[in-house]
Structure 1
């Protein structure tokens, strides 16, 4: 079952100082993060430890225990076979790496810790956020990504209620720490990807299967933009212009074509919700080595994932269901 997808939806905020709960739009959150807004109840700003933070919408359909396994959940990854069957984190370690890790005993302990980690799935919005964040923060701009639609087993056992995001600084969650015996799915408030949405930490045994599509899909959104962008870029010189002045030796030369690519990127980003603009701008950055047509199709596909999710969901509908 597909839930309504809305990157621009309003968010619930909860103040740790006075307990005030209120609803805001993403532009309010953007201003709040720049210390231009404050709690309407007590005046705390984002600079305070007890400042308001996003919280779960009480009307979120994911709160219905008996519905969790009936909904589609999503994940983005650079792994073409996520979640890997017969997962063995030590399988590709070389003898040299095993030696550096302290030998077989230490490797076995490390592999056990890796195998104890929960998998993460979330809303479609969270999956897109995750991809853009990795492109922006983890040098994955040129990596090949896949979008997974995740089907849970109807027999999956969901922990009662929801948790504050239990991830450590690496984003890892130990499954046994959030799922008591007999439970294999835990809901948590996601602070980082689709903030305020519910995501799941779960075991592999909770997943029935997945559908996969490589992303972004070229030419799924156009509206004339791709053709106009290519014509604009090809009309400009790609000759690098050295930067002069005191900072010249510290600044990479650029070209008129790259400057136009930056402007085209910024124009698209400005159409997106405030909390996606920075990451999209980074993920869709024009590279001097890219052909204009290749760049425009890639950026068009990235934009379509946010502006027109239906086109990507339609692609997923036609993909084979892989049992896990």
Structure 2
């Protein structure tokens, strides 16, 4: 079962100071994070320890235990076979790396900890947000990403209630800590990706199957925009512009083509909800030396993931389902 995909939906806020619950839009949250808004109940701003934070919508259908396994869930990864059936995190380690880790015994202990981590799935919005964040923060701009649509086993046992995001600083969750014996799935409030949405921490056994498509889709771009962007970039000079003042040492001035590329990205980002603009700007950045046509198709296709999710859902609908 598919849920309505709305990146720009309003969010529920809960104040830790006065306990007031209120609904805001994403622009309000953006102003609040910059100190421009306050709790309408007690006046706390974002700097306060008990400041309002996004919280779960009490009408979220995922709060119904019986419906959790009926919904589709999503995940983005650079792994072409996520979740790997026989996951061996040590398989890619070189002999030199194994030695630096302290030898085979330490490597085995590290691998056991990696296998004990929970998998994460969430809304379509959270999966796309996660990909953009990784491209920006984890140097994954050149990596091929895949979007996975996840079906759960209908018999999964869902932990009662929901947790505040249990991830550590690296985003990891130990499965046994959130899913005790007899529990397969734990819901948690996501603060970082699709804030306010509920995601799941679970093990491989909770997943019945996945469907996969590469993202962005290879042919999902706005042909008119791409044509216009390429024409503009190809007429712009790609030679650096001499600085009019005293240049900073070792700083190569940007070319008119690179400046235009940044302007085009900024215009695309301006079409998006404010919560995604920074990540999109980094993910779709135009770099010196980029091929204009290749860059324009990719930037437009990234925008299409957010602005036209029905195209992605259609591709997933025809994708083969792989059992896990």
State the match for 1:249 in structure 2.
249
Is residue 242–residue 248 contact of structure 1 (8 Å, CA) maintained in 2?
A: no
Give distance in 2, aligned partners of 1:251 and 1:120. Answer: 41
Q: CA RMSD in A?
A: 1.2
State the match for 2:136 in structure 1.
136
State the match for 1:176 in structure 2.
176
State the match for 1:46 in structure 2.
46
Is residue 240–residue 252 contact of structure 2 (8 Å, CA) maintained in 1?
A: no
Give distance in 2, aligned partners of 1:144 and 1:274. Answer: 25
Is residue 242–residue 253 contact of structure 2 (8 Å, CA) maintained in 1?
A: yes
Residue 210 of structure 1, CA deviation: 0.7
Q: How does 1:299-314 map to 2 (within 5 A)?
A: 299-314=299-314
State the match for 2:161 in structure 1.
161
Give distance in 2, aligned partners of 1:43 and 1:188. Answer: 28
Stretch deviating more after TM superposition (163-172 or 84-93)? 84-93
User: Secondary structure of 1:265's partner?
Assistant: helix
Q: How does 1:280-299 map to 2 (within 5 A)?
A: 280-299=280-299
Is residue 187–residue 201 contact of structure 2 (8 Å, CA) maintained in 1?
A: yes
State the match for 1:233 in structure 2.
233
Give distance in 1, aligned partners of 2:204 and 2:166. Answer: 18
Q: How does 1:157-236 map to 2 (within 5 A)?
A: 157-222=157-222, 224-236=224-236
Is residue 15–residue 50 contact of structure 1 (8 Å, CA) maintained in 2?
A: yes
Is residue 74–residue 122 contact of structure 2 (8 Å, CA) maintained in 1?
A: yes
Is residue 98–residue 104 contact of structure 1 (8 Å, CA) maintained in 2?
A: yes
Runs of 4+ deviating beyond 6 Å: none
Give distance in 1, aligned partners of 2:218 and 2:62. Answer: 32
Residue 253 of structure 1, CA deviation: 2.3
Aligned residues: 324
Is residue 76–residue 128 contact of structure 2 (8 Å, CA) maintained in 1?
A: yes
Residues 24-81 of structure 1: per-residue CA shift (max 9 Å, x gap):
0000000001100000000000001110000000111111111111111000011111
Is residue 152–residue 206 contact of structure 2 (8 Å, CA) maintained in 1?
A: yes
TM-score by length of 1: 0.97
- Unmatched segments (≥5 aa) in structure 1: none
User: Secondary structure of 1:280's partner?
Assistant: helix
Give distance in 2, aligned partners of 1:45 and 1:273. Answer: 22
Residue 242 of structure 1, CA deviation: 3.9
Residue 99 of structure 1, CA deviation: 2.1
State the match for 1:14 in structure 2.
14
State the match for 2:268 in structure 1.
268
TM-score by length of 2: 0.97
Give distance in 1, aligned partners of 2:243 and 2:67. Answer: 59
Give distance in 2, aligned partners of 1:248 and 1:103. Answer: 47
State the match for 2:84 in structure 1.
84
Give distance in 2, aligned partners of 1:76 and 1:43. Answer: 38
Residues 161-198 of structure 1: per-residue CA shift (max 9 Å, x gap):
10000000000000000011111110000000000000
Residue 241 of structure 1, CA deviation: 2.2
Give distance in 2, aligned partners of 1:11 and 1:314. Answer: 28
Residue 254 of structure 1, CA deviation: 1.5
Give distance in 1, aligned partners of 2:200 and 2:243. Answer: 49
Residues 291-316 of structure 1: per-residue CA shift (max 9 Å, x gap):
11111100111000111100111111
- Unmatched segments (≥5 aa) in structure 2: none
Give distance in 1, aligned partners of 2:67 and 2:255. Answer: 53
